[in-house]
Structure 1
Amino acid sequence: MPFVHIRIAGAEPRLEQIEALQEGATKLMASVMRKKADLTAVLVETHDTLRWSIGGQPVSRAAHLDVKITAGTNSVDEKVEFVRQAHDLLRSALGANLPLATYIVVDEVSADAWGYGGLTQEARRVAAT
């Protein structure tokens, strides 16, 4: 099931912000992407702004959200809606001053190339049939 990786640069986020990102990302994966909330993993990482630039220029605040899902399990419309709502989540939790280049990436991984609990997604699909 999905793995959501959120990276933040700038002021250290408060615990409430981290919890809002974790809860919000989990809800989006369930409601928009039709994934099981109890199998959605969310990692929030922080970085200092010295390690982040946009257009070669330093930033005071930045964020990036990357999610891994099984290829072919979501429609184009679902992914479009996820990107929109995930961007709104970042702005809501971290502030509206995020740069335009705040990326949301949906990585679609082949079912035979990833999994959890020691089984690939493809092995789970085959076992279910």
Structure 2
Amino acid sequence: MPLITVTYATSRRSPTLKADIANAVSELTAKILHKDPDVTAVIVKAVDAADWFAGGRSLAEQKLASYWIDTHVSEGTNTKDEKAAYLAAMFTRMSDLLGPLHHETYLHVDEVKGDAYGFGGLSQERRYIAGKLEVAAKAA
């Protein structure tokens, strides 16, 4: 049930670019972080490359692209190796979509406590407990 925000800048134009980014992010989040794509929300925002500065120069001037991806997941649900693989795979996939990336390109996996994070009016902790109770009731 991650909530993922993608902010990107590129000179590439495509009528499907935002959808392509959302699909790629959702796919890699499911494959590497094992998150259900049916409850993954992705927000995609474009920023003009002339308005994004890295190293004191705009990306437009440098003829490079960049992104900031902020992925919120429940604390303790992914290993360090999974998160490292996610960052690497996302960099490769986003480079394919956006073009050559500036090395100052970021992805943050924000691990949120289960009692402070949720969707549909329920915290992840309550969902976890409900799932355990359901399994116990079926076993009884």
Q: Which moved more, 1:47-56 or 1:70-79?
A: 47-56
8 A contact 1:4–1:65 mirrored in 2: yes
- Which of 66, 73, 76 is 2:70 aligned to? 66
Q: Could you list the per-position Cα deviations for residues 19-48 of structure 1 after superposition, in whole angstroms to 9, with x for gaps in the alignment?
A: 221111111111110110111111110122
Gaps of 5+ in 1: none
- Work out whether 1:84 is the aligned partner of 2:70: no
RMSD in angstroms over aligned alpha carbons?
1.5
2:137 match: none
1:44 match: 44
State the Cα distance separating 1:73 from its structure 2 match.
Answer: 0.1
- What aligned pairs does 1:1-129 form with structure 2 within 5 A after superposition? 1-11=1-11, 13-60=13-60, 61-95=65-99, 97-129=100-132
Gaps of 5+ in 2: 133-140
Identity %: 32
Larger radius of gyration: 2
Structure with a larger share of its residues in helix? 2
State the Cα distance separating 1:15 from its structure 2 match.
Answer: 2.6
Structure 1 runs of 4+ with >3 Å offset: 10-13
State the distance in 1 between where 2:103 and 2:87 align.
14
TM-score of the superposed pair, with normalisation by structure 2: 0.84
State the distance in 1 between where 2:123 and 2:107 align.
25
Return the letter of the residue paired with 1:79. K
Aligned residues: 128
8 A contact 2:52–2:58 mirrored in 1: yes
